[in-house]
């Protein structure tokens, strides 16, 4: 698609800041991308000197991907694109702060708290702050708790709402201030009106005259009130004002009463309530400061920032460091800004700090500004547009719509006059290529109740479901020449609030329509997440019966309810009772797996435990894509948590419960979803388009409650207090003003939301409504499309004409349509390959010590404990890690052995004791020693590695030498052996010497003629036979060791030696009444 003239003009505009007003479907993103390309290709701007700011990460990824594709053929440019600045404003701030962390005063390694994590931390901070304050101000805090109109919310939440609101508006807690004493409480004006009212004669009907008299009486009471009457009395009196509507219309009394009701009494009440509670405002601010401090410290300790911090710190940094600001400003030749209408004041301030004159290219549509609740301020867009125009610049307007059918756009255009509370009047022009069709592209369905049993909400939901089933596969959609029957994935159902979607989804289920809610349930409410969290809870403590039964009833186990009842009847703890259910193999499996996993829970990652349960139980089979994505996300969450901050399962379960309570975390997006209807809120549909859109529940949602706290533009704190008598909320003057303003904003936003919702449809738009009254969209549509208003009381179906010639099919019904459609077979699991367990040969060690072979040959279990597991010298857990204190010059047995070995190896040891010297001397003066001394070649402490039986053996020969053509090898032993018992003792070392002999064979080319164990303490030499058979036996022992490592079987060899073994009575299961019989396996 080529650019149209208006788009081209916008893309290539220079010499001014560019403001592109881009209506829905007008190719906004495309214009932004083309602008980027044009700047790079035509204006030769380096890609990294262009800053592109988008509204969401998803949009940033999309734009970056499209830019990469745009430059695919120009490799150098494409490579430069990889590091181009395309991100959300938060992404930009993150990069800025990471690179300037010190100047910004943020942890250089900071991580970003997600919404849920930040919320939990804030609540903890608030809880601590308020508890402290209660302890410090026991006089005032109870008053505050009592008098604030917190309703169902509490002080903590009210303060946190204020805190976040202030931060998003670019104010710190310190910027808020207490209100001043009111200059006037309007009481004199009320007195004046009361006086006038008394002079006005009663007229009208009997009832009206009675009302008039009542008004007189009220005025009399006002005038009679003593001048020193208390505020409480005044407040009470003001409450008693009769309803102005009960007075005769057009009378003076009616006008006066209305004036009192609308302005004077609220103003007076506000002033009075402020005066009554004035002493509590400083306490509110103190609480706010404490929350701020606690929260800031908590974040600092964790090296964390939240989303607001990113903007706050970035702005502070740029404002405080002029040089840096200039550097950043000069590093961008152009800034491209998407969705300017959704920018808040803080973000605009940031943008203002880094933009250079005439270098901003901003795209937006003030009519699509729907994020006021996130403090997006459409005035930012207005001001920018005005400033561009004011400086003589051209405003680029893109009104051509390539998305929707002309009939739909005509309806939208017709609606605009009824949406002027929030919309700027613009006409959308249809340029999309749509095939002609006869049937109306617009429908309106009304459900109504005529009898007690009617359920209009269900009627509406069922009608939607039925209509989708009727249209699916029969309605043709797509451009001319490319028409195809509609699939479920071509439909979207949009509502004002998510809550309205629940009955609709139920009806869709009933009618066999596959659907998925975007952001319906929160992540932690998803069925599969609840099952898996329950599994973790059972592992943490199976006494949690709710979790236990959740798991048992879930597809993880699938136990019938009768089994549950039997378990309960068995008495005692349910989990313990499962052990007795031996007849049910799956229960046996469950019980065993839980016990096994509980034993591993301290070391294994929770995601591994969950995965095992999922895999073995086939839980994932047939699970919808969305649920699979949720499972993957939970596993990821558990895994990351375990990797970054490991904790006990109990702590993890507690955390998950906190997240569940606190989180508004959305479910995982399933990525490439298959053929199902999308259900979502209008907010979530922003930026999306669908062939067929149902705009449902047009009268539900949008109710708004006043906040407990607010602040005025100058930072004055406003609050909603409890009326001392009625308990109803009474605004103070600031609260009253701010709330009135917000209601006006909300009204505008509701109009824009409806506009955004309607413009999502490409081919067909269906309105549906049931008689609820919290939202006025239905009446706005009726007004805009010139449809009859009011609630019909009979079934009807008509086709009506709307302005500009389009037609709309209007249906009224009170009865839910029946579901007589065949069931839809729906599965998005795809083909799954199952992998069988793999054989795992070769799980032995790559390398073992020669001494290990000897130890294994002596007692495999001792080898296993000491060498394989590494519990060397740790037979007793209670052994102190501190070596026994020794006097200088005193050595432990092993140290002494090393000392003598060193001396014999010729290493200088100034700390040698006379005893050690004597032992060394004994060998040196022996026949063997003498021969070694005169050897033609020799080696001492000869380290080596050789391969035997697929094991690399590591060893060190104490001494080898060649004398008289004979090779001898010697191994010194410092063991305490009784003289005469050396030969018996030497048996355990024979494999060691034979392996040394094999090593020497590799070195010298032949097996040594002699191998000797030299007992240092007794001076005895014990020869080790090196015959082929014995060498072969040793090779076999190496093979046995390898095999034992493979199979993990290390049989225990009990014998008299056990009592001297450090594992005896500890880690080794050798019995106290052993027999020296044949070795036996303990496994």
Return the residues of window 210-239 that contact another protein according to CB under 8 A.
none
Between 164 and 921, name the residue whose CB sits nearer to another protein: 164
For 230, residues 6+ apart whose C-beta sits below 8 A from its C-beta are none
Between 600 and 930, name the residue whose CB sits nearer to another protein: 600
CB of 420 to another protein, least distance (A): 22
Q: Quick check: 802 binds another protein (CB under 8 A)?
A: no
**Residue 926 and residue 970 in contact, taking contact as beta carbons nearer than 8 Å:** no
Residues from 1006 through 1035 that contact another protein (CB under 8 A) = none
Q: Quick check: 1054 binds another protein (CB under 8 A)?
A: no
And the tokens for 109?
A: 């390694």
What's the distance, CA 14 to chain centroid?
Answer: 42
In angstroms, the CA 927 to CA 925 distance is: 7
CB of 795 to another protein, least distance (A): 26
Between 484 and 1002, name the residue whose CB sits nearer to another protein: 1002
Q: Quick check: 880 binds another protein (CB under 8 A)?
A: yes
- Residue closest to 676 by CA, chosen among 486, 467, 540, 938: 486
Residues from 364 through 393 that contact another protein (CB under 8 A) = 370-371, 373-374
Q: Quick check: 587 binds another protein (CB under 8 A)?
A: no
Q: Quick check: 1083 binds another protein (CB under 8 A)?
A: yes
Residues from 67 through 86 that contact another protein (CB under 8 A) = 68, 72, 78-79, 82-83
CB of 224 to another protein, least distance (A): 25
Backbone angles phi, psi at 571, to 5 degrees: 80, 170
Long-range contacts of 777-781 (CB under 8 A, 24+ apart): 777/496, 777/695, 777/698, 777/699, 777/750, 778/446, 778/698, 778/699, 780/415, 780/418, 780/419, 780/751, 780/754, 781/415, 781/418, 781/444, 781/698, 781/754
Q: Quick check: 98 binds another protein (CB under 8 A)?
A: yes
**Residue 874 and residue 864 in contact, taking contact as beta carbons nearer than 8 Å:** no
Q: Annotate 542-585 with DSSP letters as a single string.
A: TT-HHHHHHHHHSTTT---HHHHHHHHHT-S-HHHHHTT-TT-H
Q: Quick check: 820 binds another protein (CB under 8 A)?
A: no
Residues from 153 through 192 that contact another protein (CB under 8 A) = 154-156
In angstroms, the CA 995 to CA 1011 distance is: 11
Residues from 834 through 853 that contact another protein (CB under 8 A) = 834-847
Residues from 654 through 673 that contact another protein (CB under 8 A) = 654, 664, 666, 668-672
Q: Quick check: 907 binds another protein (CB under 8 A)?
A: no
- Residue closest to 1017 by CA, chosen among 932, 920, 906, 940: 920
In angstroms, the CA 579 to CA 902 distance is: 60
Angle at which helix 307-320 crosses helix 155-168, to 10 degrees, equals 40
CB of 672 to another protein, least distance (A): 7
Q: Quick check: 1049 binds another protein (CB under 8 A)?
A: yes
∠859-860-863 over CA atoms, to 5°? 90
| Kind of pairing between the strands at 476-477 and 442-447 | unpaired
Single residue of 550, 734, 862, 1062 touching another protein by CB under 8 A: 550
Q: Quick check: 629 binds another protein (CB under 8 A)?
A: yes
Please classify residue 176 by burial: count the beta carbons closer than 10 Å to its beta carbon, then call 0-12 exposed, 13-18 middle and 19+ buried.
Answer: buried
Between 11 and 557, name the residue whose CB sits nearer to another protein: 557
Single residue of 425, 622, 979, 1027 touching another protein by CB under 8 A: 622
Residues from 724 through 743 that contact another protein (CB under 8 A) = 727
**Residue 518 and residue 684 in contact, taking contact as beta carbons nearer than 8 Å:** yes
Instruction: Report how far apart, in Å, the C-alpha atoms of 982 and of each of 857, 1030, 1049 are.
Output: 18, 20, 31
Between 305 and 360, name the residue whose CB sits nearer to another protein: 305
Q: Interacting stretch for another protein, rule CB under 8 A, among 635-643, 782-790, 806-814, 1032-1040?
A: 635-643
CB of 539 to another protein, least distance (A): 8
DSSP structural state of residue 343: -
CB of 955 to another protein, least distance (A): 10
Q: Quick check: 618 binds another protein (CB under 8 A)?
A: yes
Between 107 and 975, name the residue whose CB sits nearer to another protein: 107
Q: Interacting stretch for another protein, rule CB under 8 A, among 225-233, 336-344, 383-391, 514-522?
A: 514-522
Q: Interacting stretch for another protein, rule CB under 8 A, among 8-16, 211-219, 443-451, 602-610?
A: 602-610
Q: Quick check: 1002 binds another protein (CB under 8 A)?
A: yes
**Residue 717 and residue 177 in contact, taking contact as beta carbons nearer than 8 Å:** yes
Contacts with another protein: how many residues (CB under 8 A)? 194
Residues from 120 through 149 that contact another protein (CB under 8 A) = 127, 130-131, 133-134, 141-142, 145-146
Angle at which helix 406-415 crosses helix 733-758, to 10 degrees, equals 160
**Residue 536 and residue 648 in contact, taking contact as beta carbons nearer than 8 Å:** no
Single residue of 294, 407, 544, 963 touching another protein by CB under 8 A: 544
Q: Quick check: 105 binds another protein (CB under 8 A)?
A: yes
Please classify residue 681 by burial: count the beta carbons closer than 10 Å to its beta carbon, then call 0-12 exposed, 13-18 middle and 19+ buried.
Answer: buried
Single residue of 33, 556, 730, 919 touching another protein by CB under 8 A: 556
Q: Annotate 282-321 with DSSP letters as a single string.
A: HHHHHHHHHHHHHHHHHHHHHTEE-HHHHHHHHHHHHHH-
Single residue of 944, 975, 1057, 1065 touching another protein by CB under 8 A: 944
CB of 41 to another protein, least distance (A): 19
């Amino acid at each position: 698609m080529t650019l149209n003239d208006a788009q081209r003009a916008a893309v290539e505009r220079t010499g001014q800041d560019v403001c592109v007003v881009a209506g829905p479907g007008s190719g906004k993103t495309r214009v932004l991308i083309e602008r980027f390309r044009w700047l790079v290709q035509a204006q030769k701007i380096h890609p990294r000197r262009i800053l592109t700011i988008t509204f969401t990460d998803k949009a940033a990824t999309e734009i970056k991907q499209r830019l990469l594709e745009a430059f695919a053929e120009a490799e150098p440019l494409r490579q430069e694109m990889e590091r181009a600045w395309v991100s959300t404003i938060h992404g930009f701030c993150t990069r800025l702060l990471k690179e300037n962390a010190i100047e910004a005063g943020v942890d250089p390694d900071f991580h970003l708290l997600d919404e849920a994590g930040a919320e939990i931390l804030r609540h903890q901070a608030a809880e601590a702050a308020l508890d402290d304050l209660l302890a410090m101000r026991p006089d005032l805090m109870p008053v505050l708790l009592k008098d604030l109109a917190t309703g169902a919310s509490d002080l903590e939440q009210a303060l946190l709402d204020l805190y976040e609101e202030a931060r998003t508006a670019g104010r710190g807690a310190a910027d808020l201030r207490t209100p001043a004493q009111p200059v006037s409480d309007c009481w004199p004006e009320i007195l004046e009106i009361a006086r006038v009212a008394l002079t006005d004669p009663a007229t009208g009907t009997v009832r009206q005259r009675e009302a008039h008299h009542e008004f007189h009486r009220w005025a009399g009471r006002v005038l009679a009130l003593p001048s020193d009457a208390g505020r409480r009395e005044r407040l009470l009196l003001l409450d008693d004002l009769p309803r102005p509507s009960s007075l005769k219309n057009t009378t003076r009394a009616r006008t006066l009463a209305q004036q009192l009701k609308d302005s004077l009494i609220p103003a007076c009440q506000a002033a009075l309530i402020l005066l009554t509670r004035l002493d509590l405002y400083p306490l509110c601010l103190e609480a706010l400061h404490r929350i701020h401090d606690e929260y800031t410290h908590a974040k600092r300790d964790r090296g964390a920032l939240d989303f607001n911090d990113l903007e706050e710190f970035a702005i502070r940094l740029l404002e405080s460091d002029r040089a840096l600001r200039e550097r950043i400003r000069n590093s961008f030749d152009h800034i491209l800004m998407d969705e300017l209408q959704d920018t808040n004041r803080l973000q605009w301030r940031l943008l203002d700090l880094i933009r250079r004159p005439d270098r901003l290219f901003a795209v937006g549509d003030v009519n699509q500004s729907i994020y006021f609740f996130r403090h997006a301020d459409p005035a930012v867009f207005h001001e920018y547009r005005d400033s561009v125009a004011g400086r003589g610049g051209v405003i680029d307007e893109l009104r051509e719509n390539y998305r929707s059918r002309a009939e739909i756009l005509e309806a939208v255009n017709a609606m605009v006059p009824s949406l002027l509370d929030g919309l700027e009047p613009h006409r959308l022009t249809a340029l999309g290529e749509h095939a002609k069709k006869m049937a109306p592209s617009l429908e309106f369905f009304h459900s109504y109740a005529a009898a007690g049993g009617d359920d209009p909400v269900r009627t509406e939901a069922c009608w939607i479901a039925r209509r989708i089933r009727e249209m699916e596969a029969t309605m043709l959609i797509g451009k001319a020449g490319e028409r195809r029957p509609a699939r479920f994935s071509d439909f979207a159902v949009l509502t004002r609030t998510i809550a309205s979607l629940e009955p609709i989804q139920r009806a869709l289920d009933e009618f066999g329509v596959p659907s998925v809610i975007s952001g319906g349930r929160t992540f932690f409410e998803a069925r599969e997440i609840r099952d898996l969290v329950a599994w973790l809870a059972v592992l943490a403590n199976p006494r949690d019966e709710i979790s236990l039964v959740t798991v048992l009833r879930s597809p993880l186990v699938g136990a019938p309810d009768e089994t549950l009842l039997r378990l309960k009847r068995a008495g005692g703890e349910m989990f313990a009772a499962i052990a007795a259910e031996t007849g049910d193999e799956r229960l046996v499996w469950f019980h065993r797996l839980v016990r096994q996993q509980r034993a591993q829970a301290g070391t294994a990652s929770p995601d591994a435990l969950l995965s095992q349960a999922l895999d073995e139980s086939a839980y994932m089979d047939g699970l919808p894509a969305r649920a699979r994505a949720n499972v993957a996300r939970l596993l990821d969450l558990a895994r990351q948590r375990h990797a970054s901050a490991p904790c006990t399962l109990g702590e993890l379960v507690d955390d998950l419960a906190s997240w569940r309570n606190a989180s508004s975390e959305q479910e995982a997006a399933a990525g490439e979803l298959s053929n199902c209807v999308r259900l979502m809120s209008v907010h979530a549909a922003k930026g999306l388009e669908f062939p067929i859109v149902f705009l449902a529940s047009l009268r539900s949602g949008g109710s708004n409650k006043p906040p407990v706290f607010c602040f005025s533009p100058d930072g004055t704190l406003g609050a909603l207090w409890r009326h001392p008598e009625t308990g109803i909320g009474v605004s103070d003057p600031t609260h009253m003003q701010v709330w009135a303003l917000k209601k006006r904003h909300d009204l505008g936003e509701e109009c824009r939301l409806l506009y955004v919702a309607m413009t999502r449809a490409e081919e067909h738009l269906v309105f549906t409504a049931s008689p609820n009254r919290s939202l006025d969209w239905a009446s706005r549509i009726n007004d805009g499309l010139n449809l009859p208003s009011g609630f019909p009381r009979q079934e009807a179906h008509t086709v009506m004409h709307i302005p500009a010639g389009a037609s709309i099919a209007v249906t009224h019904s009170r009865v839910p349509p029946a579901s007589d459609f065949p069931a839809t077979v729906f599965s998005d699991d795809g083909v799954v390959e199952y992998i069988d367990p793999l054989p795992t040969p070769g799980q032995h060690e790559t390398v073992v010590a020669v001494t290990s072979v000897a130890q294994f040959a002596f007692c495999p279990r001792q080898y296993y404990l000491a060498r394989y597991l590494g519990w060397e010298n740790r037979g007793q857990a209670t052994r102190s890690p501190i070596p026994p204190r020794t006097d200088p010059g005193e050595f432990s047995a092993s140290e002494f052995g090393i000392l003598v070995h060193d001396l014999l190896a010729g290493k200088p040891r100034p700390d040698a004791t006379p005893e050690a010297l004597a032992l060394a001397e004994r060998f040196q003066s022996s026949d063997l020693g003498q021969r070694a001394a005169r050897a033609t070649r020799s080696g001492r402490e000869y380290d080596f590695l050789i391969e035997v039986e697929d094991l690399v053996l590591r060893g060190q020969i104490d001494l080898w030498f060649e004398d008289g053509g004979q090779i001898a090898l010697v191994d010194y032993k410092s063991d305490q052996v009784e003289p005469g018992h050396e030969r018996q003792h030497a048996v355990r070392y024979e494999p060691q010497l034979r392996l040394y002999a094999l090593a020497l064979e590799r070195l010298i080319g032949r097996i040594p003629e002699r191998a000797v164990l030299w007992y240092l303490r007794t001076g005895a030499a014990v020869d080790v036979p090196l015959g082929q058979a014995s060498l072969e036996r040793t090779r076999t022992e190496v093979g046995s060791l390898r095999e034992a490592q493979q199979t993990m079987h290390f049989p225990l060899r009990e014998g008299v030696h056990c009592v001297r073994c450090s594992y005896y009575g500890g880690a080794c299961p050798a019995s106290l009444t052993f027999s020296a019989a044949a070795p036996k396996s303990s496994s």
